[in-house]
Amino acid sequence: MRRRFEGPNLFLLFILGLVLNSLVLFCNGGRTSSYVRRLEEAVDMPLDSDVFRVPPGYNAPQQVHITQGDVEGKAVIVSWVTQEAPGSNTVLYWKENSSKKLTAQGKSKTYKFYNYTSGHIHHCTIRNLEYDTKYYYVVGVGQTEREFYFFTPPEVGPDVPYTFGLIGDLGQSFDSNITLTHYENNPTKGQAVLFVGDFSYADQYPNHDNNRWDTWGRFAERSTAYQPWIWTVGNHELDFAPELGETKPFKPFLNRYRTPYRSSGSTEPFWYSIKRGPAYIIVLASYSAYGKYTPQFKWLEKEFPKVNRTETPWLIVLMHSPWYNSYDYHYMEGETMRVMYEPWFVKYKVDLVFAGHVHAYERSERVSNIAYNVVNGICTPVKDKSAPVYITIGDGGNLEGLATRMTEPQPKYSAFREASFGHAVLSIKNRTHAYYGWHRNQDGYAVKGDTMWFYNRFWHPIDDSPSDDS
């Protein structure tokens, strides 16, 4: 005689079915790190911190920073601030082991923001530099002189090794200081920093206190004066404050920082491109118009076909707002830009995309979502060997703290995620292989919290799915 299922048995089967179903759903994605960082409030360092100290001497140059000054890597833009007087716009520079000293002339300016008046901000471009060479340079000529150095990149070429540091959403908190210290002491030495936006967080202070732009410049100088930081703008650079009478977006950034945008045919300093060693780097602006017919759209439409993968095999894109993000914070904020530009990313086989904005770490699978056309309903990301890996590196340590809430279940496009502060290093070995490591601040300098071998999409487009490589 067949036994009937009684009510309690049916209920148990129902519960078991729910559990099994949820397990299937939760296995959809990659791995959420088991590491749990002690949640503490991120606090900005006080104004009397030693990292904010004004250099000694009358009118001493401060907030010194450099960035690439052309497309090819044979120019450097040197920027600095003098507080008491304009001083000299001259940069004195020379090659290591050379007695021949050269000069370059720059310009200086000041700006006002509400009740703040800046110091004298100097920008000077040094041109016609030799590749793969150490240069010394001096600013503050004729008054309090300060000496620094930098290395030019190797000549652009497909198999030139080169290492980039990756930092985003840095701010000037105690955690920010740990992030920068970890980057400086990483045994894998970065040669230039790809910075994905959100500098000082001055806009988080009353009246967008621009003194916090000054403290950030002095804090970061220990790195920015010695190696180029490639700048991307974020939402905290907007400084749009009509309630204060400040209606020009990006005003502090535009006065304090320079990019080589004209060299790449851009009309604004927020989107541009450079070549550096084996990499072609495209910087996009998440907070400038990017729809069809806009200047950024027209520029990017012409930019991708320029990339010669036999010369620069690694195609990297920087932006601030991530397209693939599985945290509750800023979820889908990058979606409209993704819809506009993702087909180009797949068509031209972008290798890697780095973004910030979300104050945590995440690495995606190689995925695309370009089939959707409103009518067909095909709107789920799929694995795509021609697509980039998307990495969110907005974990620099700023005062807004960590993003800790994640969407559950972890989506299929997400390979690894962790709510910790840190930085990353990308070591390009040759035209086919690059080694990547993410470092959390709580570990030793050499410890990697996430690693990956990336295979170039043009020269070696085999599956490098990260699912089992973390």
Catalytic member of 122, 123, 208, 330: 330
Question: Whose CA is closest to 71, among 318, 260, 316, 232?
Answer: 260
One-letter amino acid for residue 87 of the chain: G
381 preceded by cis ω (within 30°)?
no
CA 101, CA 148: separation in Å to the nearest integer? 14
| Max Cα–Cα distance, the chain, nearest Å | 105
Return the number of other C-beta atoms located less than 10 Å from residue 110's C-beta: 12
One-letter amino acid for residue 302 of the chain: K
DSSP for 39-86 reads -----BPPTT-GGGPPPSSTT--EEEEEEE-SSSS--EEEEEEESSS-
Mark 295-322 as b/e (b = at least 16 C-beta within 10 Å).
bbbebbeebbeebebeebbbbbbbbbbb
CA 394, CA 404: separation in Å to the nearest integer? 13
* Strand arrangement, sheet containing 422-428: 229-231, 192-195, 162-167, 422-428, 433-440, 450-455
Residue 65 is a catalytic residue: no
CA 467, CA 286: separation in Å to the nearest integer? 29
User: What are the catalytic residues?
Assistant: 330
